[in-house]
Structure 1
Amino acid sequence: MAAVREIKARGVVEPGDDDAVELAKRHLVQPWPYAGSVGAEARALIGEGEGIYITDASGKRLIDGPAGMWCINVGHRREELARVMYDQAMALSYNTPWYTMNAPSAELARRIADAAPGDLSHTFFTTGGSSAVETALRFMQFYNNVRGRPEKKLIISRGGAYHGSTYLSASLNGRPRDRHWMDGADELVIKLSSPDPFRRPKEMSIDAFTDFLVDQFRDTVARVGAGRIGAFVGEPVQASGGVVVPPDGYLKRIREICRENEILYVSDEVVTGFGRLGHLFASGDVFGLDPDMITFAKGVTSGYFPLGGVIISERLLEELRRSNHPDALFGHGLTYTSHPIGCAVALKNLDLLEEGVLQHAREIAPYFQARLKTLEELPLVGEVRGAGLMACVECVADRESKDPLQLDKDVGKRIDAHCHELGLLVRPLINMCVMSPPLIISREQIDDMVAILREGISRTMDDLRKEGVWRG
């Protein structure tokens, strides 16, 4: 009891506090709520984390299958990161970025430039992924205004994409349910097909599907006019869209069309950056790309502090410096741009990644993918796909039609509920379950994760059969 009183005295709420759920229902607005429960719901209460595990309010230990939200890359309870936060806060907790700067942000920008592909050399730091994408798009607008091309502002995105929750970044999202009740800058955005090989027409080969995607992009540029299109924004792997891994060569061909038409290529690495695919940046090391900008967040601090950013090509900055408008102001900034604590944590996180975590992620990824692939033995599973340490299990009513709509729309949540009971937290996405565990996961822990997921899917199949929803 003395220890509990000490914790409460420091302002930390214990996960087992009886009133936490009621307090949430009365006062907390959760993200992505439904109108019928907005401001009146409580979600699963998590109390502690250690390594690849979290503990819920009942004391149950769970494998953190989504690594928080694709972000706890080096694992929970890393004392090195906690100490850096304390030390930096005691040295300098904050400085205004409008007319001062701090050393951690300058050093972090250098290290990011050293790791980034091509001529990406300068970083604008933000508070997360949405603000990073927003910053990239606003920079594109500013860049074209300064260069005398005010009409070159349209943005090309794709079905299945997820790029954020701010107004402009959310306008790029290509998942229909995200936009049914929300407004967006639709007049600025053109959406093309998702590069999802699983959903290609049945009679179409992968090569033909790739050609279709590239031709669709090229035809769109010709139809709309390259002089009106400012940027293409794409995730190397569509994460929240269901871990969609594009066909080989597709992204490089899109990049070439962008280069030919002076369309800025923005690679959204909010999820894939900082180790998820075994490298600090997947754009160059995995996909052979040299984008004009890369956005990042999440894994840059392993989720220990809110930080994101956009890395910008040296060429773009040189063109602005040589322009006829030296007094043109990029009127964009955030109160917490280049936050000293966030940048200090990111520096230590980079140390951890480079001192062994990245190597481990590259070595264990094939085992992770192979073990999850065995779940395709289950009749409810249409496909298991992934790259690095991110994967998706997509459930379908039948493999012939690949139709998910005949299933209960909450099949992912059903699987998650069973897995929670068995000791695993998954990320349910309608008919899909996404897995992206901390990069430090071991082979034995992967075996545990897959065994639990197999049992959770099997129990869900039994439920669906009993309810007459699925005959599988």
Structure 2
Amino acid sequence: MSLDLDTSTDGVLTADTHLVQSFADLNALKQDGARTVIVGADGAFVTDSEGNKLIDGIGGLWCVNAGHRRREIIDAITEQLDTLDFYSTFYNFTHPAAAALATKLAELAPGHLNKVHFANSGSVANDTAIRILHHYYNRLGQPKKKQILSRHGAYHGSTHLAIAMTTPAYSEGWDKAEGLVHHLRCPHHWREGEGQTEAEFLTSLIADAKARIEEIGPENIACFIAEPIMGAGGIIVPPPGYHAAMGALCREYEIKYISDEVVTAFGRLGHFFASKDVFGVQPDIITTAKGLTSGYQPLSATILSDEIHEVISEPGGTFLHGMTYSGHPAAAAAGLANIALMERDRIPETVRTTGKRFEGNLRGLADLEMVGEVRGSHFMMGIEFVKNRETKEPFTPEDMIGLKVAKAAQNRGLIARPLGNILILSPTLVMDDTLIDRTSDILREAITEVQNAL
């Protein structure tokens, strides 16, 4: 049976009526022309079915860090499939690609994070971290330590447990794992720290977290999970010192610290991992995906401390967790090639300069009337639009401001991600100065167009 993929200029895939798309208004997608059909990609650009060449301002979805159509990664995948297309890492079986990638990740990860479990998505990587910690505490004879601390504004995935750890807005109308997750305050100074300096806001956040820990009981809490910078919650950067302070609080109460680096790892903030190098915290577990293969293959990793692994690998039990495609040979080969390319081209180091140019250009948009705040770091940026800059009054959902700006930008050759009143930019990490400047010029034109139409 063959599948007819009609990518002609009508912009419609023959099979699109059968595809259930993620995080979409499924009713709206019933309308003709509601989809943008991407049919090609190269470098920092993608091409749609109308022949338009667009700057990929969202990097696929936070993930195409090394850029599109890199022969080094494509050839590595092809060679691996031609040698060993698939074998699992179940039981006593393994294969060279998974073992080599685990070794490389242990080399890159900070401190004592030396043991790696592979899966195929960030959601599953985060679920895996929780399952492992629950098992870890069972083995230590502390079966009550099951509760999870997360935060309002967090995004940790969309599986049944991961969505429970995610900010509640993402599970409205949907069920999720109940009774395990407690959400701490969102560390967004601009919205939540009215009348406080950043230092005062930080003090209040830590005091609030300490109070919640004592209320729940540290003997009942397994872990705190946090993105270094909140992504799909709106690009929220915590006040300076937040992660280090939360790490110290977790150590004080014997709570494990999970750093969700699904987005921030592999160069997006100028380092392979951001937790320690950028934010000064040593996690007990790091979860990652997306940039691990630059999106060329679905792969995620849950990277564990030696101490956690020592407990779960003691005699007297089987590690009853894993997926068929954990450490898939082609995905592992893609990860190895992606990291080798990044090291050869010094992509993380380059981002420390180009990413700051990108960040600075976008912060320059703050002079526009409806721009309330520009926030983020390097190639992970958000622009929040407001009706009134003085009062920070937001637009209503019916205004669809983010979507309108995104459409105006796409008409000018840039894909950006609307999120309510926020526009998110997470482009490939291979943009040069000319392309960075063009991106900010397009955004200024798009925002101005929507602003003038209000």
Scaled to the shorter chain, the TM-score interval is over 0.9
Task: Supply the AA of the counterpart residue of 1:30.
Answer: Q
The structural deviation recorded for 1:98 is 1.6
**Distance in 1 between residues matched to 2:118 and 2:175, nearest whole Å:** 27
Q: Retained in 1: the 8 A contact 2:119–2:326?
A: yes
Offset from partner CA, 1:132-161 (integer Å, 9 cap, x none): 001001101111111111111000000110
Structure 1 residues 398 and 181 mapped into 2: Cα distance closer, same or farther (>3 Å)? same
**Distance in 2 between residues matched to 1:456 and 1:123, nearest whole Å:** 43
Residue 181 (structure 1) aligned with residue 173 (structure 2):
yes
TM-score, structure 1 as length reference: 0.92
SS at match of 1:44: coil
Match of 1:73 in 2: 65
The structural deviation recorded for 1:40 is 7.5
What are structure 1's unaligned runs of at least 5 residues?
Answer: 1-7, 465-472
Match of 1:143 in 2: 136
Q: 2:351 aligns with which of 347, 361, 373?
A: 361
Superposition pairs of residues 51-62 of structure 1, within 5 angstroms: 51-62=43-54
The structural deviation recorded for 1:15 is 2.9
Q: 2:392 aligns with which of 398, 402, 419?
A: 402
Match of 1:463 in 2: 453
Match of 1:276 in 2: 268
Match of 1:387 in 2: 377
State the identity %.
38
Match of 2:331 in 1: 342
The structural deviation recorded for 1:90 is 0.4
Task: Supply the AA of the counterpart residue of 1:134.
Answer: D
Match of 1:106 in 2: 99
Match of 1:449 in 2: 439
SS at match of 2:389: coil
SS at match of 1:117: coil
Task: Supply the AA of the counterpart residue of 1:190.
Answer: H
Match of 1:171 in 2: 164
Residue 124 (structure 1) aligned with residue 122 (structure 2):
no
Superposition pairs of residues 301-380 of structure 1, within 5 angstroms: 301-322=293-314, 326-355=315-344, 356-380=346-370
The structural deviation recorded for 1:364 is 1.1
Superposition pairs of residues 234-273 of structure 1, within 5 angstroms: 234-273=226-265
Match of 2:411 in 1: 421
Q: Retained in 2: the 8 A contact 1:29–1:40?
A: no
Q: Retained in 2: the 8 A contact 1:373–1:385?
A: yes
Q: Retained in 2: the 8 A contact 1:117–1:289?
A: no
**Distance in 1 between residues matched to 2:445 and 2:49, nearest whole Å:** 23
Q: 1:232 aligns with which of 224, 229, 241?
A: 224
**Distance in 2 between residues matched to 1:64 and 1:321, nearest whole Å:** 43
SS at match of 1:397: strand
Task: Supply the AA of the counterpart residue of 2:327.
Answer: S
Q: Retained in 2: the 8 A contact 1:29–1:39?
A: no
Offset from partner CA, 1:345-372 (integer Å, 9 cap, x none): 1001001111121221112122111111
The structural deviation recorded for 1:35 is 5.9
The structural deviation recorded for 1:448 is 0.4
The structural deviation recorded for 1:330 is 2.6
TM-score, structure 2 as length reference: 0.96
**Distance in 1 between residues matched to 2:447 and 2:278, nearest whole Å:** 31
Offset from partner CA, 1:405-441 (integer Å, 9 cap, x none): 4474411110011111111000110001111111110
Match of 1:28 in 2: 19
Q: Retained in 2: the 8 A contact 1:265–1:292?
A: yes
SS at match of 2:161: helix
Offset from partner CA, 1:190-243 (integer Å, 9 cap, x none): 001111111124211111110111111111111110000001000000011111
Task: Supply the AA of the counterpart residue of 1:106.
Answer: A
**Distance in 2 between residues matched to 1:275 and 1:428, nearest whole Å:** 23
What are structure 2's unaligned runs of at least 5 residues?
Answer: none
**Distance in 2 between residues matched to 1:360 and 1:12, nearest whole Å:** 42
**Distance in 2 between residues matched to 1:163 and 1:319, nearest whole Å:** 25
Q: Retained in 1: the 8 A contact 2:8–2:49?
A: yes
Offset from partner CA, 1:281-339 (integer Å, 9 cap, x none): 001111111100000000000000000010000011223345xxx22333111010011
**Distance in 1 between residues matched to 2:21 and 2:35, nearest whole Å:** 8
Task: Supply the AA of the counterpart residue of 1:365.
Answer: G
Match of 1:467 in 2: none
Task: Supply the AA of the counterpart residue of 1:451.
Answer: D
The structural deviation recorded for 1:396 is 0.7
Q: Retained in 1: the 8 A contact 2:258–2:286?
A: yes
Range 138-147 or range 196-205, more displaced: 196-205
Equivalent residue pairs, number? 451
Range 267-276 or range 402-411, more displaced: 402-411
Task: Supply the AA of the counterpart residue of 1:161.
Answer: A
Q: Retained in 2: the 8 A contact 1:175–1:241?
A: no
**Distance in 2 between residues matched to 1:49 and 1:390, nearest whole Å:** 21
**Distance in 2 between residues matched to 1:435 and 1:40, nearest whole Å:** 27
SS at match of 1:236: coil
Task: Supply the AA of the counterpart residue of 1:119.
Answer: H
Offset from partner CA, 1:99-152 (integer Å, 9 cap, x none): 311101111111111111110001000101011001001101111111111111
Dislocated runs of 4+, deviation >6 Å: 38-41
Offset from partner CA, 1:357-396 (integer Å, 9 cap, x none): 1221112122111111110010000011111211111101
Match of 1:198 in 2: 190
**Distance in 1 between residues matched to 2:425 and 2:412, nearest whole Å:** 16
Structure 1 residues 153 and 409 mapped into 2: Cα distance closer, same or farther (>3 Å)? farther
Q: Retained in 2: the 8 A contact 1:124–1:309?
A: yes
CA RMSD of aligned residues (A): 1.8
SS at match of 1:191: strand
Range 115-124 or range 362-371, more displaced: 362-371
SS at match of 1:333: coil
Residue 161 (structure 1) aligned with residue 150 (structure 2):
no
Task: Supply the AA of the counterpart residue of 1:329.
Answer: T
